[in-house]
Structure 1
Amino acid sequence: MEVRGPSGDTVRHAKGPQESGSTPVTKSQTEAKVKARMEELREEIRRHDQLYYNDGVSEISDADYDALFRELKSLEEANPELVTVDSPTQRVGAPLPEGGSFDKVKHVVPMLSIESLRTDEEARDFSAKVVRFLGLESDDELEWHVEPKFDGVSAALIYRKGELVQGVTRGDGVTGEDITANLRTVRDVPLKLHMKPAPETLEVRGEVLIARDRFDRFNEWRAERGQPILANARNATAGALRRSDPAEVQKYPLEFHPYSIVRCDGYELPNSHAEQMQLLAAWGFAAPALDETVQGIGGCLEYQQRMEEKRDTIPFEMDGVVAKLDDMALRTRLGTNSRTTKWQYAHKFKPVEATTVLRAIEVQVGVNGRLTPRAHVDPVQVLGVTVRHATLHNEDYVLGLGIAPGDRVFVKRAGDVIPQITGLAMEAEPSVPADWSDAIPESLKDADGGIREGAIVQYREPFAMPEHCPSCGETVVREGKYVRCPNVHGCRPQLIGRTVHMVGRSGFEIDSLGEKMIVQLYDAGFMESPADLFRLLERPDEELVALDRWGAKTVANLKKELDEKRRISLDRFLAALSIPEVGTSTARLLAKSFRTLDELREATPEQLLAIDKIGDEVAGRIRAWFEDERSASLIQSLLDSGVEIVEEESAVILGNAFEGAIVVFTGTLEKMSRFEAKKAVEAQGGRVGSSVSKATTHLVVGGKPGSKAKKAEELGVQVLLEPEFLKRLSGDDG
């Protein structure tokens, strides 16, 4: 088994030549000697992993290390009873089942945002508020812990009695996804805490990153194998952590850098954040290399300036610094608000700009019909990312910049993320370059080689918003500073966008159907509007399987989910329809005020205005939408294809038997759909998982159960037949 990472650095190297040719211990040797040798190998591998990731030191060759790893694996295969949970060989687990998804996990402590500041004055104001709240005389009395704000992916690691049991993404800050198997592959994440005694429960949060040099080597490795080059380290990190096979994740040179302890039961932590970080280092995490403890806001600003000056020499991408009070007791006094903590802030660096040539301006049609200009530029590096396109916001913005193809323009990454044109660097020369036409982006040409509608590509051609939609040809309408295509029911980008919205989380929640798949369905003629969504159930499997990268299992999963999700509450149905001004919250208000869809369709403007938070404009748009014959046709088509609007209560059986439980379903339920059962469990405070694991508390078994039942039996998970499940839901569990 090849364990060394493809870039040469996802695992590190052990002692020396003496082991490189070592012979595996034979079975004739005593168990004690075998056990001792295995532990010696584990400790050696851990030591060199830590040397490399924490200290940047490599002592021996890759070949020597690989020999050690193979020896350990060979011994463990011959002596499985001696395998330990924290062995380096145990980092890679089984992949997710085909079509599976990560379980949702609610954070015990929400992962709140950090207040983002841009100027020294804003930082001083932040400190002044802290000083006033704490009743201090000067900010010099405060000690701040300052550290780089790395541009990575946040994650939480949870340990029980010193053993890693769960790894969770940030998600929306309240709920994340369980990616334990993937985080176990990160070489500097300790599978078991090094120092004893260990806390009963420990939650450590940090940033998953890829260093610049390792990212470059990883891309070289991919290029040698004909694999696509990755654009930047952060996106590569995020993509790796979302992969379904941990063996593939292990190939990425990921690192974990802790930045806080948010839970610790059964162990008394020091009151200093800096000391807590040192404690994490003793437990086996990466020690902070660039962190400092400074006095007062002056120390914070001086640190921020130093870090900004040398940002290009730091091994990782960073977009600012984070300053947090070092005293944990003071943090508790300050507390939090609904969105952010009050005891820390992020001081962002000045955005880095580059200059490049503007090749074209393309007017695109958005989901809501709004026409938005986008710039095509010559490729340019901005903060380690190659930029080829940049936002131009709206018509007024482009006219205000006064730019045209051929001009040299300033490009920056807004918030260091979204590329945008910020200004004119130099006007184009009067004469047209000889190769200008040859450099027109191919994506802006039609099938005959001509220029597509809405594309401005001629040298020094003035910008003007088109009078007709570039997609469907409809005459556009102006709404203030925006221009919109009114052809809601016939403009392809809008139809696709409304379909994406319909299957999204605020609508029918069809997880197995993504935007790329929806585009394929429209291209193949299998869909002409969102009204055709559930008619896919009537389409022969062989037609869908013929689509690129669609398999029989993909089609089966999609049809199964479409069938399960046809029963929907009124508020979610309304939210799915893309009614102007009706999002999730307004849909709930309408569903509470009108008992049925027919009552809402017949509602007068006066009845709509009587609802709190609905004004004249919103009421008018809702009324106009329902009066449109095409809206009525959409609703009728959905109902004709089997969509059933149900009262929320009919999908939920009251009780609290599943509070805190993690429930997995297998087989076919007779009394309710899988979707209804999921909602019922969630309504009682439980969570529904997709696969059986040690964390699963209940497996509900319907007809024709699969392999999950056998795994539940092996793990000792409580199994409930459908009648037992229904009794528990109703509170009658005997």
Structure 2
Amino acid sequence: MSGADKEIESFSEAEAHAEIDRLHELLSEADRLYFENDAPDISDAAYDAMKRRYLALEIAFPQHKRADSLSEKVAGAPVDGFAKVRHEVPMLSLAKAFTDQDVIDFAERGKRFFERDKDLDLVFTAEPKIDGLSASLRYEDGVLVRGATRGDGAVGEDITANLRTIKDIPHTLKGKGWPKVIEIRGEVYMTMAEFEALKARSAAVGGQEYVNPRNTAAGSLRQKDPAITASRNLRFFAYAWGYASQEPAPTQFDAVQKFGEWGFAISPLMVRAKSVDELVAQYKKIEELRSSLGYDIDGVVYKIDSLELQRRWGFSSGEPRWAVAHKFPAEQAFTTVRAIDIQVGRTGTLAPVARLSPVGVGGVVVENVTLHNEDYIKGIDSNGLPIRGDEPIDVRIGDTVVIQRAGDVIPQIVRVVLEKRPAEAVAYEFPHVCPVCGSPATRELNEKTGKEDSRRRCTGELICAAQAVEQLKHFVSRGAMDIEGLGTENIELLFSSGLVRTAADIFTLRDRRTEVQAAFAARREEQSRLREEASGKARKATRSVEERSFEGLDKLFAAIDARREPELDRFIFALGIRHIGETTAAALARTFSTIVELRKTGLEAAAAGGDVHEVFPSVNGLGDTIWEALRDFFENERNVAVLDSLLRQVTPKPYVVTISANSQVAGKTVVFTGTLEKMTRGEAKAMAERLGAKVAGSVSKNTDILVAGPGAGSKLKTASELGILVLDEDGWLDLVKQ
């Protein structure tokens, strides 16, 4: 059984490490498509299944948790086109429940957390989870002054003008009792009736095709012309709030009812519940009503009703502990495999993709599905055990397969329908050479386990055009150097024209302006010719190709020059070193402060070989995988040459650590030990994290504060020896109250 389908309990260390990396890559791409492009190619159920497996692997194998773990960040990023808005209170995602047992576990966690409150009966709310686009509306003195998208949870986009066109959003609050300032949050959506009407109108004039109501609502909300947004008849349900100068009510339920009094549409299916049985009963009721609601929902959200208890329970890994989304099951469909293609990624992985006969699953047309690796295609794992059924069942061109939008960015194959397999279908032969550059494609041997990696990689590295192009795309991407104007198409054009082969070449394009202009002009002429052939008539340009070319190049060169002094963490991430994501790059920037120091230490590690710990420092969150990846990068002379060439063009800024002054413990590492008498250990941790501190489980030289209750043992002794600040519980509470 491959890592994609294998039971977590049966994973080896190496298999767990590989599976976490695989899921990390797929989840990151899913986040980008969903939050930045509003164009997901899997359902929420699909994404949730993969995220759930990822988190379960981190729990089962904590030693392989990545420094840039997705459990530690909020997904997505705001895109260009609208002014940015920083949310005063982050717009966080919710933890997921998939079974009744998950709901029971959620309630039991709450009971354990508040176990010191002997007579406390937990009360919850339950309401439909609308499948739309989250928005935040800021009202001052009852007047709508700004509306924004969720973005990455911390920063969204200002779409006030478009939100004002939605009839469910009042420009002025009704009634009375609203705070002086409050941010009302909810979901913008499109009804199914409006979606079908829009599709019909578009088809009548030969316009674009629309995939589903959610994506259409998102696109409608980001129109430059508010009149277009208004024509789409979008709707809005209010269900939460962000910053408020005073709380609207003591409970979640009463607050939402207030929203209704103030003029907002709220869900009539929101109820209070005093037990898991009542929560599940409401879930089943809403599931039965789902098809008759007239708009898409994908689950039911449960929350602790008391706002005071919400504050006490706090947050974990970018999610509130006091809320959970109980998701509906994934859908399945039958289709056939038309072809199997091999794609070569940035790190050389040969990724097989099945091309399918298009099939609709949950309102989305699916045409591709990842086949992960050659073992997955064969139907076996690295130990030769079957992953589909009792016997190995491979995937062949011509097969009828069952797919579901769950588990991967491109939906996964649930099973192969053998009784429908064509007689002429033959087993797929996985290539042992790179289809792009012809270099050998090998499966690396894990020295610790003695087993082969499940993925086959091209050994061509930078001589492989596919890897080189993907590396360049990564270098200029939003999270890396973020060079505006160098998107996928332009990178591919500049590479194929021979103008850019390595990252350093990007910064010398201004010196080759004539050649760059010629390449862009040739592409425009070819595109124009193709359009003329398709339409049967020539298009008349209002301005010359040369005039438009000069304008575009000036902007491009300016954007490139603006990135000649990048932040150090962005620069490290842009290098595309294997296993080093954005969070890890930031940790490395904090550790080494300058690129000069990182390069010096990396070359020392490469020269020394052997144990990476002999050269690299011990840094919390950076394990052997990261240090070995750095050493391997600097062992490659071509990588060092590319880096040095790049450093002749750019000067990364030294990394400077800044600590927030809003909290006495922000940025500090805190350890709790002994018995806490005024709060539970979980509540103490939540409090510290809420104030910006990091909570560790053991005392080291990196510890700033030890909070010691009665019964403190060796941790107290170690802290005293290291000269670490030691506080009792009262001292801790006094400190955080400051």
Query: How high is the TM-score relative to the length of structure 2?
Result: 0.65
In the alignment, structure 1 residue 504 sits paired with structure 2 residue 471: no
1:264, CA displacement in angstroms? 2.8
Partners of 1:551 and 1:248 lie apart in 2 by 30
Q: Say how many residue pairs are matched.
A: 527
Say whether the 8 Å CA contact 2:345–2:467 is kept in structure 1: yes
Partners of 2:433 and 2:408 lie apart in 1 by 34
The code of the aligned residue for 1:647 comes to P
Say whether the 8 Å CA contact 2:135–2:147 is kept in structure 1: yes
The aligned counterpart of 2:425 is 460
C-alpha change, 1:422 and 1:552, in structure 2 (3 Å) is farther
* From 119, 126, 141, the counterpart of 2:106: 126
Secondary structure of the residue that 2:577 maps to in structure 1?
coil
1:221, CA displacement in angstroms? 1.7
The code of the aligned residue for 2:654 comes to E
* From 611, 617, 639, the counterpart of 1:610: 617
Say whether the 8 Å CA contact 1:412–1:419 is kept in structure 2: yes
In the alignment, structure 1 residue 335 sits paired with structure 2 residue 314: yes
Structure 1: tracts of 5 or more residues without a match: 1-98, 432-458, 657-734
For residues 22-45 of structure 1, give each alpha carbon's deviation from its aligned partner in whole angstroms, at most 9, with x where no partner exists.
xxxxxxxxxxxxxxxxxxxxxxxx
In the alignment, structure 1 residue 277 sits paired with structure 2 residue 250: no
The aligned counterpart of 1:585 is 586
C-alpha change, 1:236 and 1:609, in structure 2 (3 Å) is same
Map 1:645-660 onto structure 2 (within 5 A).
Answer: 645-648=652-655
In the alignment, structure 1 residue 537 sits paired with structure 2 residue 510: yes
Map 1:285-300 onto structure 2 (within 5 A).
Answer: 285-300=264-279
1:535, CA displacement in angstroms? 2.4
1:475, CA displacement in angstroms? 1.0
Secondary structure of the residue that 1:257 maps to in structure 2?
strand
C-alpha change, 1:290 and 1:553, in structure 2 (3 Å) is farther
Partners of 1:139 and 1:417 lie apart in 2 by 46
The aligned counterpart of 1:220 is 200
* From 349, 369, 389, the counterpart of 1:390: 369
* From 353, 358, 364, the counterpart of 2:337: 358
* Worse-matched range after superposition: 546-555 or 100-109: 546-555
Say whether the 8 Å CA contact 1:116–1:346 is kept in structure 2: yes
Say whether the 8 Å CA contact 1:141–1:296 is kept in structure 2: no
Whichever of the two has the greater Rg, that structure is 1
The aligned counterpart of 1:424 is 416
In the alignment, structure 1 residue 630 sits paired with structure 2 residue 638: yes
1:258, CA displacement in angstroms? 1.3
Partners of 1:423 and 1:510 lie apart in 2 by 43
Say whether the 8 Å CA contact 1:324–1:345 is kept in structure 2: yes
C-alpha change, 1:569 and 1:356, in structure 2 (3 Å) is closer
The aligned counterpart of 2:721 is none
Partners of 2:119 and 2:97 lie apart in 1 by 18
Partners of 1:223 and 1:494 lie apart in 2 by 40
For residues 156-209 of structure 1, give each alpha carbon's deviation from its aligned partner in whole angstroms, at most 9, with x where no partner exists.
111111121222222222222323233233332222223345431111111121
For residues 262-294 of structure 1, give each alpha carbon's deviation from its aligned partner in whole angstroms, at most 9, with x where no partner exists.
33325x623232332222122221132332333
Partners of 2:658 and 2:325 lie apart in 1 by 45
Secondary structure of the residue that 2:316 maps to in structure 1?
coil
Map 1:251-266 onto structure 2 (within 5 A).
Answer: 251-265=231-245
For residues 66-98 of structure 1, give each alpha carbon's deviation from its aligned partner in whole angstroms, at most 9, with x where no partner exists.
xxxxxxxxxxxxxxxxxxxxxxxxxxxxxxxxx
For residues 401-450 of structure 1, give each alpha carbon's deviation from its aligned partner in whole angstroms, at most 9, with x where no partner exists.
4222222211111169742211123433545xxxxxxxxxxxxxxxxxxx
Partners of 2:409 and 2:212 lie apart in 1 by 11
Partners of 2:300 and 2:429 lie apart in 1 by 42
The code of the aligned residue for 1:482 comes to R
1:210, CA displacement in angstroms? 1.4
Partners of 1:167 and 1:478 lie apart in 2 by 51
Secondary structure of the residue that 2:282 maps to in structure 1?
helix
1:570, CA displacement in angstroms? 4.2
The aligned counterpart of 1:301 is 280
For residues 289-311 of structure 1, give each alpha carbon's deviation from its aligned partner in whole angstroms, at most 9, with x where no partner exists.
33233331101111212333343
The code of the aligned residue for 2:105 comes to D
In the alignment, structure 1 residue 488 sits paired with structure 2 residue 437: no
C-alpha change, 1:214 and 1:526, in structure 2 (3 Å) is farther
Partners of 2:213 and 2:346 lie apart in 1 by 29
The aligned counterpart of 1:377 is 356
Secondary structure of the residue that 1:414 maps to in structure 2?
coil
1:260, CA displacement in angstroms? 0.8
* Worse-matched range after superposition: 149-158 or 563-572: 563-572
For residues 304-358 of structure 1, give each alpha carbon's deviation from its aligned partner in whole angstroms, at most 9, with x where no partner exists.
1233334333322222111112333332332323422122111111111111222
State the Cα RMSD in Å.
3.2
Secondary structure of the residue that 1:637 maps to in structure 2?
helix
Instruction: Kindly indicate whether structure 1 or structure 2 has the higher relative contact order, using CA contacts under 8 Å at least 6 residues apart.
Output: 2
The aligned counterpart of 1:404 is 396
The aligned counterpart of 2:440 is 475
Say whether the 8 Å CA contact 2:595–2:654 is kept in structure 1: no
Structure 2: tracts of 5 or more residues without a match: 1-78, 380-387, 445-452, 528-547, 662-738
The code of the aligned residue for 1:193 comes to L
Map 1:509-524 onto structure 2 (within 5 A).
Answer: 509-524=482-497
Partners of 1:617 and 1:275 lie apart in 2 by 50
1:626, CA displacement in angstroms? 2.6
Say whether the 8 Å CA contact 2:603–2:635 is kept in structure 1: no
* From 524, 528, 552, the counterpart of 2:501: 528
The aligned counterpart of 1:576 is 574
The code of the aligned residue for 2:507 comes to F
Partners of 1:128 and 1:617 lie apart in 2 by 36
Partners of 1:199 and 1:416 lie apart in 2 by 44
Secondary structure of the residue that 2:508 maps to in structure 1?
helix
1:600, CA displacement in angstroms? 4.0
Partners of 1:399 and 1:624 lie apart in 2 by 31
C-alpha change, 1:398 and 1:654, in structure 2 (3 Å) is closer
Say whether the 8 Å CA contact 2:579–2:625 is kept in structure 1: no
Query: How high is the TM-score relative to the length of structure 1?
Result: 0.66
The aligned counterpart of 1:28 is none
In the alignment, structure 1 residue 102 sits paired with structure 2 residue 102: no
The aligned counterpart of 1:82 is none
In the alignment, structure 1 residue 566 sits paired with structure 2 residue 570: no
Residue identity over aligned pairs, in percent, reads 35
The aligned counterpart of 2:540 is none
For residues 459-498 of structure 1, give each alpha carbon's deviation from its aligned partner in whole angstroms, at most 9, with x where no partner exists.
5221232111122221101031111112221223322221
Map 1:220-259 onto structure 2 (within 5 A).
Answer: 220-259=200-239
